[in-house]
Amino acid sequence: MGGDFEVIKKDVMGRIGILRTKSGKIETPTILPVINPKNIVVSPRKMKRIGADAVITNSYIIYSSPKLKERARKEGLHKMLQFDGPIMTDSGSFQLSVYGDIDIESKEILRFQREIGSDICVPIDIPTKPDEKWDKAKKDVEITLERLREMKEIKREFEDLSLVAPIQGSTHKDLREMSAREAGKLDFDIYAIGAVVPLLEEYRYRDLVDVVLHSKFNLPLNRPVHLFGAGHPMTFSLAVLMGCDLFDSAAYVLYAMDKRYLTVNGTHKLSELRYFPCNCPVCSEYSPREVMESGEDERTRLLALHNLYESFSEIKRIKQAIVDGRLWELVQIRCRSHPRLLDALRNLIRYSGEMERFDPSTKSAFFYGGIESNERTEVLRYRRKLEAMEIKKTPALITTLNRELEDFEEVYYLKPPFGPFPKELEETYPFNCETPDIFDEEMVKTALGNVIILIENEKNRGKEILFEYDERYNHPLIEEVKRYTEVKKGRCDLKC
């Protein structure tokens, strides 16, 4: 198979990677804009200039139209769509989920995809709708897995192509896990998490987090993960943080047809926009009114173009955030655009303990961005370290004073959300974190929790830790530590 994937940079579970296909490479994370071969609104050539390394089209639409079928067979997809980069072809699964039935078998449509020159081929999976009964959802997963297993027989015919294994299981976490685990054993080039469109349409981002993570935790790490149908730029950074590498977007054109304008913060109705909050070529040349008053086709084209520019600039922002080690911060900002996204973020941090093992331990910055920062992977990692830590030298001191401390062999500074950390590490990540000077309750609580872990650990070993603080500051964290240790005066013995 032809699915070489190389990860070149990581942050949390997000990564920048290079996927090689027979028609060239794709730098991930990225979106593959959907091309409807019956209605091309933005030319694939233009898409390439906006940033698309690859595009996706639907092989079933081509197969079921005699005219398109003949053309695709004769010319090949690349000539027909006038795009020389990688082309992914979806199967008829979407039609299956909408109309309930299609007249072709998985092997047949795969062979058709190969015949017309596709680079990335998708078998027919069964997209089970959310909240489906467990038994039915399980049966659907088993059928999809059976089709993946039967592809073994035809794999030789697909040697230079990339093959996709769809992951299903509705909203059942155990079924997503099973689907991912079993498909993961079959060595596909790309894994694609399916049937999330209904969740996205209903703003069920919290469920999206469960579905993606229970799949992702069970998939091979050295393979790219596609998230089917997630085309709104508002959700890209969240999905990338969870380890999704590829997206396909029909949203850019579907929203455009509906006179809607996409931004990273949500969707606007064109009719309600007095100003364009963007400076892409469309938005700098036209006013909302001028776009509104263009003819229907031109209006759709202009909106689709803006939607693509917005989507690809978000992809670039995400990639730069990965380079900077700032993906958590970007996701925290994006998830403040909608309360349902904030639910997703709050659900996401419950998985921090599991995500921690993927997150690189050396980065340069940690910016406190709200109460979720207390549950970031780095904070959990430090808490685990503290729990296992033994202070080697005595006496030890936790201090908030800035003075010479020769008397003490081991000195800890106190700073939320990490709490006590060895003073030598003050300038290093993550203790060099930037936090607001006005503390919130959560960061104080998190830091206090770590102070308690350290003190109690040492107490169990019969050792003592001293606590020293600056009386001039009315520092809420100091107050909490004092309360915990019932200290009244400036310097105290934490053995108390």
Residues with a known catalytic role? 90
Q: What is the rounded CA–CA span in Å between residue 12 and residue 378?
A: 9
Compute φ and ψ for 422, nearest 5 degrees: -60, 130
96: CB partners within 8 A, 6+ apart: 102, 124, 126, 127
Q: Can you read off the two tokens belonging to residue 155?
A: 């794999």
- Distance of closest approach, residue 88 Cβ to ligand GUN, in angstroms: 10
Which candidate, 22, 48, 118, 217, places its Cα nearest to that of 4? 22
Question: Does 91 interact with ligand GUN (rule: CB under 6 A)?
Answer: yes
Give exposure, 54-84, as e/b (b: 16+ Cβ within 10 Å). bbbbbbbbbbeeeebbebbbeeebbebbebe
- Distance of closest approach, residue 73 Cβ to Zn ion, in angstroms: 38
Q: What is the DSSP letter of 128?
A: P
Amino acid at 147: R
Q: Which of 280, 292, 333, 401 binds Zn ion (CB under 5 A)?
A: 280
Q: What is the rounded CA–CA span in Å between residue 125 and residue 106?
A: 8
Q: Which of 278, 342, 425, 487 binds Zn ion (CB under 5 A)?
A: 278
Q: What is the rounded CA–CA span in Å between residue 102 and residue 95?
A: 7
Q: In terms of CB distance, is 158 or 252 closer to Zn ion?
A: 252
How many of the chain's residues bind ligand GUN (CB under 6 A)? Answer: 13
- Touching ligand GUN, residues 219-238 (CB under 6 A): 228-229
Question: Does 194 interact with ligand GUN (rule: CB under 6 A)?
Answer: yes
Please say whether the beta carbons of 83 and 114 come within 8 A.
no
Question: Does 405 interact with Zn ion (rule: CB under 5 A)?
Answer: no
Question: Does 208 interact with ligand GUN (rule: CB under 6 A)?
Answer: no
Select the binding partner of residue 83 from Zn ion, ligand GUN, none (C-beta < 5 to 8 A, by kind): none
Amino acid at 457: N
Neighbours of 150 (CB within 10 A): 13
Select the binding partner of residue 278 from Zn ion, ligand GUN, none (C-beta < 5 to 8 A, by kind): Zn ion
Q: What is the rounded CA–CA span in Å between residue 182 and residue 142?
A: 10
Question: Does 90 interact with ligand GUN (rule: CB under 6 A)?
Answer: yes
Q: In terms of CB distance, is 182 or 378 closer to ligand GUN?
A: 182
In the stretch 287-326, what mask flags binding to Zn ion with x, by CB under 5 A? -------------------x--------------------
Question: Does 17 interact with ligand GUN (rule: CB under 6 A)?
Answer: no
Q: In terms of CB distance, is 166 or 369 closer to ligand GUN?
A: 166
Q: Which residue has the tokens 């689709």?
A: 304
Question: Does 416 interact with ligand GUN (rule: CB under 6 A)?
Answer: no
- Distance of closest approach, residue 216 Cβ to ligand GUN, in angstroms: 16
CA atoms within 13 A on the CB side of 251: 29
Question: Does 207 interact with ligand GUN (rule: CB under 6 A)?
Answer: no
Q: Can you read off the two tokens belonging to residue 279?
A: 């400076």
Q: Whose CB is nearest to ligand GUN?
A: 194
Question: Does 195 interact with ligand GUN (rule: CB under 6 A)?
Answer: yes
Q: What is the rounded CA–CA span in Å between residue 324 and residue 205?
A: 26
In the stretch 112-131, what mask flags binding to ligand GUN with x, by CB under 6 A? ----------x--x-x----
Q: Which residues bind Zn ion (CB under 5 A)?
A: 278, 280, 283, 306
Q: Which residues bind ligand GUN (CB under 6 A)?
A: 90-91, 93-94, 122, 125, 127, 166, 194-195, 197, 228-229
